[in-house]
Amino acid sequence: MSEIATPSASAGAMPALADEFRLAMRRLAGGVCIITGLADGARLGITATAVCSLSADPPSLLVCINQRSSLCAALAPGRTFCINVLNGDQADIASTFGSSRVQAERFLGGNWQCFDDGIPYLPDALCSIRCNVDGMIDYGSHRIFIGKAGAIHLTDPFRPLVYGNGAYHHLHPVA
């Protein structure tokens, strides 16, 4: 299959572009992350793949979060959150945090621990990066959070959980 959609192609082209965009985003594979935070002392977490490295100086990442989520409402400049990059055997955790389950129940599975400030992290994730919110930009339905890394937990070996085309995957090296 090979096709191009443009907004000017026909009167009904904007829905076509929206559909093509959804199909295109299914093709953009990404490491699966659980983004965690606190709201009035209660733990919050969501599954996300819209996470990327931003700058090495300062060490920073960004994550795009739906503005209607409770985690988005809990984050503000100076507040902290954690990006947990999942291991290949943590698909069940990804599914739980990507579901409609209430927040308190989401943390029943997984070996959760807390940084000094109470932010939850998964010590058996591939890595956990505690960040301070150092910028927020709203665009469309989402808010971009710039996170300045403050503490990092790492594990080996490298065997990530990757999401693409609506399913979880593992990696194998290109021959």
Stretch that binds its own copies, among 34-42, 73-81, 102-110, 153-161 (CB under 8 A): 153-161
11-40 positions binding its own copies, by CB under 8 A = 17-18, 20-31, 33
Closest CB 141 distance from its own copies, rounded Å: 5
Closest CB 139 distance from its own copies, rounded Å: 6
Burial of 28 (C-beta count, 10 Å sphere; 0-12/13-18/19+): exposed
Closest CB 35 distance from its own copies, rounded Å: 13
Q: What are phi and psi of 171, to 5 degrees?
A: -105, 150
84: closest CA among 151, 166, 144, 136?
Answer: 151
123-142 positions binding its own copies, by CB under 8 A = 123, 126-127, 129, 134-135, 137, 139-142
> 76 with 133: CB under 8 angstroms?
yes
